[in-house]
Amino acid sequence: MIDEVAEDVPALDLTSEINSQALTNMAMIPLCAPFADEENRDSFRDVLQAAFHYYAGLLDLSEHPHGFLFYAWVDAQASQLRISAINGSFSSPPFGCDCDFSASIDDIAADCTIRDHSLFGPRNRLAVWTQRLPNT
């Protein structure tokens, strides 16, 4: 799956306006049955960790001293795990809905395995796992 991320995001854009960065830096991983089931929760966690490390490998701190804000969420309507990054000078990702930015990597991995949930999953808010690099 990390190969799909590398195909989608061969380099980071941390200089354009926030929405352009979010779209350019986005990778999407389909959540297909039977892979998206409870027994593969740890696999999704591993994918999220690998994606974070992949994005970190693309970052040149000499060019972008603010680093980046990496984030991941499940798009339930599209049945996709989505991953992106924006310049670390921004305080939060550009979502137009109510978000739970306190979600953990384990929350997102669990959301990958829920088959029948509402638009925002069981929390009634979009769960978004965020991670800064460098960690500030």
Helix, strand and coil content of the chain, in percent to the nearest 5, comes to: 35, 20, 45
Total domains in the chain come to 1
- Reading the chain (136 residues) residue by residue, the pLDDT tens digits are 788 889 999 999 999 999 999 999 999 998 876 565 666 778 889 999 999 999 999 998 888 999 999 999 999 888 899 999 999 999 999 999 999 999 999 999 988 887 655 555 556 789 999 999 987 5
Which structural domain range is residue 110 located in? 2-133
- Displacement of CA 118 from its chain's centroid (Å): 19
Give this prediction's pTM.
0.89
According to the model, what pLDDT value does residue 76 have?
84
Instruction: In whole angstroms, give the CA distance from residue 86 to residue 76.
Output: 22
Give the max Cα distance, the chain: 44
